[in-house]
Structures are given as structure tokens and as C-alpha cells.
Structure 1
């Protein structure tokens, strides 16, 4: 079969001369390969640009430019390779057919770039596209071969022609895959891979051409005149074509790189603009977060302070008045503990609305400082306006609030300071309003108080005491233990000593615990104070043991805040070991309310302490909220009746019955009973008759320091029995108020009160 002068499916003629001495110029072959590589590299760059630009017009532009680069590179490679083919015949090329071959290659290249421009390609689409492109490259090749004219006739081996077409399809398939792969990415390694891919693609394109040349056989018919070439201008023509092609490709690649940089700068500019926009939004959001409370949408502390400073400057200039109100929701913690924090947040939102509705919206500033604490700033003409607003808020707060299926009423405590009477700076006014709030809480809550100078004096004194107490604990200077005997009614001896801390203050003299225990609890010093008392009590007990008091026990009070610490059993054990005191000689006293705080945790902790061998006592029994159900769960040894039940005995029959009931109940639970606050012989006699185990009070002794303790112990332990009932019967009318009997009991070391007859001391 002859096509355009090419005998592709025809057999070689039986007669004719086959030219065997044809060869290729290696320099031009190398030049053709370089041109093919350049065209491949340009195509990869154009495909990358097509995928990166967003405008359809720009995409069409880069597809068209890529098609020209690819078509020009492959066609120039083909033409230079043809010029590299050297034959002993005069050869020339038909210009129209050569142009047609270029047009065929351009169509194939356009199809290639359009294929690469699609978003996704399936495997079958890759195969179809590579087949079309490969056929286009083969068509360009063989059309270009038909443009070569000489005295020889071109014959092609069919199998090799088909093989060249397969090579063209495979090369096209590989080119599509590589171009799709390299259209995204960046960096030096990506660029290096692109160079390697261009070399591979160029080799594939050149291999297709020379596979087609391998199939070629030139046959000179017999009788034809051989015209030898006069001059050989193949080198000059090849260099010209290569130079023009490479210039076009280089310009296209430069344009692609420039566009890439420009697009990168545009993207950077867009990112900068986006970042600036985000920064503006973030600034607005930060301003909202910085000055407003996210839960209630009220102004927060930072925003309040800013507005406060501005209004304070205005009122200072105009000599007006301002009021600062601190509000605290009473017992708000119970809501969080019982209903959960979500319910607490919902309640805070409702309360914030109530406070806002009670104020003058046009002038008053309402802020949430955190938790359940709110602050209001108002301009006023007199102090009564502040009082009226506070009362209006308190009345508004009493409106029922529906929350998680319940209707509840909350109350608030309010503290007020007024500018300029109570301060001239923001910090001073806020601090004074807080002091007034503290006063409202101390007065039973649900009340309002204005700041007064005595509040500041008291706060200053408490701050001073806190600092000095901290120093006293650190230096162990000024603190001292006093001991009050606990008398055993069964054997008539002192069985225990209660350790009571005192503070010998350099300015204020001897301070009792009620003056500084609250300060220690409020400022995180109570654990350190309790540990000091425990350690010192064990050391003093060791000293007493060396002086003949081997059977004495010491009771040490434990704060409610200290009772929840897991370190407490270890600290008790360490104090006992350091002093060399047996654990059974130590008794830990805890208050009734402290035990009821968290009963499960408390029971577990008390069991650990009990396991050490330490006795446990419940102090101030009857003043708290305990019940028998809880009492029987606690690992206790002793129950101490509070002094409030004994102080009116025997004049109060009701108190006498209560004391009797407590003693019976305690003995039923196998607990020993201590009654504190015993100050008269009548109280002593009643407790003895009711079976009380121990008594403690001023009738026996006041609390004394360790240095004064031994004479009192000796005096109390030397008394013998004298019946209070028998004494009254023997001397009727002589002890109507009990004073004579008390004198006998306290002042005469030869007698003691008991249920038996009076006996002299031996």
C-alpha cells in the first residue's frame, strides 16, 4: 500500500538497488534529543500553569502556549533528526507537506493540553487520550517522511511501523501521567524530578522517531540516475531550527516562571489581605473577649476598670459623686454542687438580666467580675440613691426563678463605697466596696452595707495578724500550748489534757484561738497551725511522761479544713514517732460539723487515723446537724457534750434531760462521754449521778501552760471522796448557792466530791 509516496504495506521490489550506506549525524541526533527534552519540559511547566491559574481565559492561554511548545519541540526534533539522516543521494523536502506535518503535531499537542486541563481522568480516559496523541505523533512523523524527496523510493517494514506507533502511544501515556503528577508541588526536589521526567520523555520521543527510521528502506530503481548532493547545509539548517525552537520554548518557560512568581505574589497579597481581615476580626473578637463576659454579655472586670477610670475622671472634674456596688449571690455554690455547673450558668444569666433590669440602663454600668460576683457603677447626687438602687436590686432578686424544673428564690449581699467620701481612686473604691460586702456577708447575708472607716481598720488589723501569724509559724515564736485537765469521774484522777493553742502577741498580748483561728483558715495557714499544735503536744506529752505522768493522754483539736487532707494520717504518725509517744495516748478531737462535710471521705480518713492506734473524739456534740445514722458509722471513741447544754444546769430541767439523753445514747453506742464547761459543784454532782465518764471545766482548772501544769495535776489527783449529797444533808441551809461546797471541793485538798461518803486523805 502506497500513502503519500510511502510504501508501508508493500513488499520490496524484486529489482532495484537498496541503499545500505545511510547514516545519522550523531551531533544532530543529540541536538534533536535536547530539543525534544526542552519541549517536554515546557509542556510540563505549561500543564502546571493550567492547573494553578483560576481564570478560564488564562487557562486557554497556557494550554495554547503549551501546545505550541510541545508541537514545536517534537516537530523540530523530527525535522532535525531527518536532517541528521545522511544518504548518498540528492534530497530535498516538500514545504507544504512539511507544514502539514507541523499542523498534525499541533493538533495532537492541543489535544494533549486539553486532556491535561481536565480535573480528573480515569484509566480508560488516559488510554484513549494517549492513543489519539500517539497516532497524531506517528501521523506527523510519517507525513514528514513523505516530504523527503529523492531518486529513491521509501519502503517500510510493517511490523516496525506498528511498533513505532505503539512506542508513540506508550510515550504519550507516560507523558500524560508525568504531566498530571508534576502539575502540583514545589521545591528543589520537585524541580529535579521534573528535569528527570523531561529527559525521559525526550528519550521516548526520540526513540519513537528512530523506530520509524528503523522501519525505512530506501530503494533506487534500476535505471535511475543517481544525483549526488552538491552541498550539505543540514548542520546550518538544523542549528537554525533548533535555535528558533529553543528560543520559543525558553520564552514560554520564562513566561511561565514569571507568571508563577506573579501568581505567588498575588496569592501572598491575598493571604496578607486575608490575614489582615482575620486580624481585624480577631481584634474585634479579642476586644469583645477582653471587655465583655461571654456568659452574661455584661462588661467584665477589664472593661469595667476602663469605664470606671473614665467616669472617675469626669466626676473629679465636675465634682460629682459615684457609687460602686459589689454584689455577691448568697449560697450560690450550693446551686453548682447540687444542680451542676450548667444550671449555675443558666442561673447567672437570669440574675444578670434581673440586675440589669433593676438599674438605670442609660447611665448605670453593670459588670460581672467572675463567678457569682457582680459590680455596678452609678452616678448619683446623694447616698440615698445608691441605697434605693441596692434595695431595688435586692427586691428584684427575690422574684422566683424557674430552673431545671424548680422554682427558687436567690438573695444577694451588697457592699457600697461612694466617691469622694470613701476614696478617690479606682482601686481604693473597689477595695472599700469589697470590705462593705464582706461586712454584709458577716451580718447574715441578704443585706447591704456602706463602707465605714472601722471596716478598713479591722481589715488592716486582720492583714497584720495574718502576716505576723505566718511569721510566728515559720519561726515557731510566740505560739504556745495551754492544757486543761479532763477529770475521770470513775477513778478520781486526771486522765487527759486538752491542748489549746494561744498566741503571745507582742502588741496585743495573749490571744485566744477565736482571735486568730479564723484568720488561719481563711489564708491557708490552718494545716500548718494544726501540724505545729500536734507536734508540740506530742513533745510536751513526752516531757510529762519523763516526770511520772505515763498514763496521761492528750487531746488535740483538728480543724474542719484539715480533716479532708490525705496527708493528715502520715503527719500524725510522724509526730508520734518523732516524740516517742505511744499512739493510744493521743486523742484527735473533731467538730460535729467537720465530720458531716463529706461523710464518705471523712469515714475513710478517720479509719486510717484509727488504724494508727489514735483515739477519736467528736467535739461540741449537739450543736451541729449530725444524726444517729451518721454517728454509728464513724469510728469514734469519745463524745464531748458542748458547754451550752451544761451552763444552765441544774436550773434548766430541759437541759438536764438533754444531757441525760446524750449520756445514755453515747453509752449505748459504746462511747465514753466528756462534758466540758463544768463550773459549779452542782453540775459536777449531776454529771456524776448520770454516769458521765469525764468532766472538764473551770471547776477543776483553767487552761494553763505546761510549766504551771504539774502542781494542778498533783492537787487534783490527791483528792479523796466526799459525797455532795451527804454534805448537803449534814449541813442543810449552809450551801444554798453551792458556794461552800465548791470551796470545800476546790480549796480543801483533803476532800473530793464523789457518790461515796466523805473520807479523809491518808
Structure 2
């Protein structure tokens, strides 16, 4: 620190100060060099703010520090060369190099603060302090590098003033850089020029304020030396050119980067525009090829995919399946709950269908409640399995408008190449198969076959002839199947089952024409005909001593939805002269649950007349126990599907037992249909079943053959008791807690 002590020492006695001047052209050159460096530095500060990657920011910070340090050092050195005195002056290379390094480190510190992602005012202030301190320290270190016979003396006040000037200039230039970086100026390029001029003026003012504080004194007796050669102009120009080249390169790099970034931004905007256009194209394609409600493929998209898949299969070989689906009784949802609820139901069913299919299958909504599935397959059984999965999935309960709905679907299937070779042909044949499923009772799947066209023609003919048979009361007949009461050992009821004696096709069972009647609006007339004829036949049986028998009449879901049913029941009983207790209406679970609230009210009106009510096929639908306890029922019939494997199936045994316990708890009598073996009879007897019905007792027979069947069944108790005891001793583990069996039946089992 000895040199600093000498610099700030007072003027010693016996010494005299040397006169000095500054070359104005070199001062101007130094100012121009500093202006170029300031402009380049501000440009680089702007690039640091615009750089998106951290690595790019690091490169720009390093370049900015070098540019600022070189320009400040060059300005200082040119300014020193502009200093003229009568003494020979040269410079210490080490201190000169140290001064450059000092400025470089100060510039690096300033750039590190300016290189933040979002620099605050504190960062700009710290950067200004780094620049001001770097300029001051570099200046006085460079001054200390001067070597001459004179002694350097500094005025402390002027030294402090130079530092203040540098600090104010740095603060002002950093504030201008902040506004420039934030884009808060109207004309940024002019603002940048102004900031560069102010920054250069402040730094060069710091330099000459420091020079003004300098006094060179010669010791007493030392004579000044006249400078013989002066190469300061040449050296100054060399330094200026080099520095200007550096600044120009930095400005050029910043400008190129700015243009490149602008092009990249333009490219990003173009890419954004292209992306938006692509999204618009996708949206248009979505609207053109996909259903807006369910987001499934629509008819147009399906036809396109179908044509592509078919062309692929034609070239490569293999099978292709087309499946038409139609939601059963969907119109009732729109009519009762409104179209909004119908739309929600369609979305739920579309989700269920998609969940049941495979990822490679194409599921489409063609319109309304019609769906279509296109799928690859290896065999017809694969298509059958897919159809069964869909049938089971669609039957899952759906919460809709505060109700728990159970829907079913009908399916038609056609296969390539066996059922057709074109899209139109395969779709038409799948539609025919769908019509067959709907005509056959719905909730099923059918494959197209060659006789479907013939069958469609035949069913149209049957529809016309059935209408005539109802109008003329010709050809329709009733068969009766006895219902055997286990407690009394006698037949207590007869179930009326319709048959059609067709002149060409012989005796037709209900499954052959009931679907035609439901599809074509004849089912209500058919049910009314059965009701009236059953009451008349029961009245005729009463004249032959069967005055304790009851008759059960099946009631379809469509008939159950008619308010006229209560009046029609009353009229049928009145015309036949029968009391109401001798009639029992039998309805299925699904018919009850189709419109439960109106159904309950209608059944209560019928029950109020004295007519008994029975629920048929229990266990095959989705009836709610909460509604079951509210229904005015007398009897519950267990479906034959639960009886086929008893008593050998433990699962079916448990199910039947659970149904009986539940029914008896609700004070309902239990009838089991489909009883065909003595083992089944014994099992049901032990469980406490109230009555049975099935081929073990009798097939359905016409009225003229019923007398003999009734007489035979009413005298079979002893034989059934013996057979039941034999079964119990052979399999005691099946019924460990069952009561003794006391029934009789013939050991002869009639065939189907």
C-alpha cells in the first residue's frame, strides 16, 4: 500500500509540479471506444434477458463481461496515452494487466447479477456497484502502473468525487438497461443509443475526474526531460481498432442472435398456427366421423373403416364380423323421462358396450339407439362370446334420473365371407339377424342364416293370420298345466298357456308367435283373449265338480302398462260368472320393474277386486327387494333355471332355500316350476315349498284332457310319499335340518 500512501500524500516541500495537457483527439477516440463498448454491453444485457436456455445465458454473460472490461480498459489506456507532459512516461506491464483483470472480474460480477431470470432492482443496483468499483479500482491501478521520474500525488476529495461520478453513471445506465430489458420504452433502439452515450460519458468522466485529481511533482534538483519520440497516437489507434473490432463483433453477434431468435419466434408462431390448424382439422374430422353424444364412431366414420377393413380382409383373407345392436324399449325412456335422460342413458350404454369389447373392435353409434360393432375373429364362437359379454354388460343396472334402470339389447350378427362380400350386404344381413332377435323376445343375439329372409316372410304371414285368428276367434287354444299343492296333495291351480292350431304349420307354441304379437301391437288383444277364455273354461270345469280350482293367466309387460286392465279383468270374471278369488294374474319380474310406480297402483286396484297376483320367473330379473315388499303379491314362482341342477348343485340349493325363506318372511306362497324328477320333488318338499309345477306331474294339456289328469294327480299322495322317503334315506346329507317328507307321487316320470 506504499504507492497509495504516496499518491495521497501532500505536496512535499522543495518539489515542483509539472504541467500536463490532454490530446483532445485521443479523448474523443477514447469516448468513441467507450460508446461502442457500452452499446455492445447493453445489447448483450438484452440478449441475456431474452435467452431461454441457461447455457446460452452463461455464454452471453461471459461475452458481455469481456466486452465491457476490454472497452473500459481500452478507454482508460487511450485516455492515459492522451496525457501529455514533459517527462518520459512508460507503464508497468504487470500492473497494467492486473488492471484489466480487475475490470474483467468486476464485469463478470455485474453480469452474474444481470443474468438472473427476472432480475430485481437490487440485482441492478449490485451490478452498478460492481461496474463502478471495477472502473475506479482499474483506473487507479492503471495510474499506479505509470513509470516516470515524477511523483504522483492525488487530491483525496477529487478521488472520492471520481468514484461518486462513476457510481452515479453506473446506476443510471443500469436503470436504463432495466427499462430496455423490460420493454417499457416506446423507441427501444433510440433509447439504447442514449443509454450507451450516458454510460460511456459517465465512465470517461470517472477517468478524467481521477486524472484531474493527479499531480506530478519532481524532486528538488531534478531536471525534466524532453520527450524525443511520441508514438501515443499510433498505439491509441491500434488499441481503439482492436477494441472496436471486439465491440463490433459483440454487436454483430447480438444482432445475429436477435434475428435468429426472431426467426425462431416466427417459426414457433407458424408451428403454433399449424398446430391450431391441425387441431381444427382434427376437430372437423371428429365432428365428421364421431358421434357428439357418445364420442363413438358415427355412421360415416363406420362406413369408411368398414370399407378399409373389408378390403384388407379381401386381400389377406380371414373373417370379419358385423354386429348390429338395438336397445330394447328405448322409446319408453324418452317418452317417460325426457330426451335428456335418454341421452344420458345412451352415453351409459355406449360406455358399457365399449367396456365389453376389445381395443381393436370398432364400436359405432349409427343413430338413435342403434349401435354397430366391427370386429376381427377366427371363428363364429368368438362372435357368440363377444355378443354374450355385451348382453351381460348392458343388463347391469344404470342410475338414471333418480331411478335404477335395467336395460337390455338385441343383437344381430353377420360374418364375412359366409354371409356376404360387400359392406351393404353384410349390414343388411346383420340387420335381418337383429330383427330376428327383436322378434324372438329381445335380449338375445342371433346370427344371420340363409333362411332368415324366408322366415321374415313367414313371420309377416303369421302376423296377418294371427290378426285374423284374433278377430274371428279361430285357431287359438288354451292348454292347462296343473299346479300341485304339497300340503293338501291336490291340484289347486291351473296355469293357462296359449297355443295356436295353425292350418299349415300345426300346433304352434307361444314362443313362435308371442314375439310377433308384441312387435306388431297384438299382445294386448291376445292377453285379453286368454283372460276371457280361461275364465270361461274354469266356469265349465266348475260344472264338473272342480269348483275349488283357480286359474292363473300370464300378463305381458305391454298389457301391464294399460290402465284398462283392471276393468277388463272385472268384465271377464263377470261374464264367466266367477268370483274374483278364483283368478290369479301372473306377471314377470322385468314386466314389473319396467314402470314400477304405475304398475304398483294398477296391481293394487286389481288386488282390491279380490284377484290374486303372482310374480313369475323370480330370480331371472333385477327386481328390487325394496319394491318387492310394496307389491300387492300373493305368490312367488321360482324360475325353472334354479331347479334344473337341484339337489346336486349346492349353489342352486342355497339360492332356492334363500328365495323360499325370503318369500315366506314376506307372507308369500312359493310355487316352483320346472319340476321333473322325484329328487327335485323331495328336495322342495323338505324345504317347505307350497306348490310345484312341471313335467313330473303333467304336461300342459287341452281342456278336454284335463279331467283325467286332475283325477290322477289328486290320488297320488301315497306313492309320492314312498318315493320321497327312499330319496331321503339315500341322501341324508342333503337335508340335515329338513322336516320329514309326507307326499306321494307316481314313480313313472313322463317324458317331455
TM-score normalised per structure 2: 0.47
TM-score normalised per structure 1: 0.46
